[in-house]
């Protein structure tokens, strides 16, 4: 058994070394907001925060997480920045199919936590590794810009 800090709580999980965090989150802890996309950390659908940093959970192994705070999409709205991003996403109807959006939101929160007023170019650079098959990139950029406005107010 291992203890993890997940969404502000300590949880116990039974997972072997080499098990990706993604599968622990989804299969053992039944938190299905974090999505499987590619399995090679290229699409961003599985993004979570480790100590506040957006990280691909499909290539993060359970044995490397001792003492690290893990935050998933289920808890991101408890934070001021996360709540602003969720509000902006809703206001602007950013989502189309929605599959990639938990990863998009987690990356957007990471950007805004580090840079409260990103330029469009900084948004594009930061969000580049998050794939959206519906191509809602313009709406995603607008959502990040709107969240920055909400945080500024």
Q: CA dist 10 to 7, 69, 76, 86, 110, Å? A: 8, 9, 17, 25, 22
Q: Do you know the residue count of the chain?
A: 153
Q: Phi first, then psi: give them for residue 76, nearest 5 degrees.
A: -65, -25
pLDDT computed for residue 17 by the predictor: 96
Long-range contacts, stretch 124-130, CB < 8 angstroms, 24+ apart:
129/42, 129/43, 129/44, 130/43, 130/44, 130/45, 130/47, 130/100, 130/103, 130/104
pLDDT computed for residue 87 by the predictor: 98
Q: Per residue of the chain (153 residues), give pLDDT as tens.
A: 999 999 999 999 999 999 999 999 999 999 999 999 999 999 999 999 999 999 999 999 999 999 999 999 999 999 999 999 999 999 999 999 999 999 999 999 999 999 999 999 999 999 999 999 999 999 999 999 999 999 998
pLDDT computed for residue 23 by the predictor: 98
pTM of the model: 0.96
Alpha-carbon span 101 to 44, nearest angstrom = 9
Pairing of strands 9-13, 53-56: unpaired
Pairing of strands 53-56, 2-6: unpaired
**Centroid of chain to Cα 121:** 20
pLDDT computed for residue 83 by the predictor: 98
Within 10 angstroms of residue 46's Cβ, the number of other Cβ atoms is 27
């Amino acid at each position: 058994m291992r203890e993890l800090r997940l969404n502000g709580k300590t949880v116990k999980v039974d997972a072997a070394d080499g098990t990706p965090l993604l599968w622990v989150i989804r299969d053992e802890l039944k938190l299905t907001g974090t999505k499987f996309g590619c399995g090679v950390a290229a699409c961003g659908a599985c993004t979570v925060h480790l100590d506040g940093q957006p990280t691909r959970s499909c290539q993060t192994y359970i044995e490397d997480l001792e003492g690290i705070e893990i935050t998933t999409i289920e808890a991101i709205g408890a934070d001021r920045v996360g709540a602003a991003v969720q509000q902006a996403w809703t206001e602007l109807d950013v989502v189309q199919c929605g599959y990639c959006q938990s990863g998009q939101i987690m990356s957007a929160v990471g950007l805004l936590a580090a840079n409260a007023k990103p330029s469009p170019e900084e948004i594009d650079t930061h969000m580049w590794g998050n794939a959206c098959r519906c191509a809602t990139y313009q709406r995603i950029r607008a959502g990040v810009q709107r969240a920055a406005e909400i945080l500024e107010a």
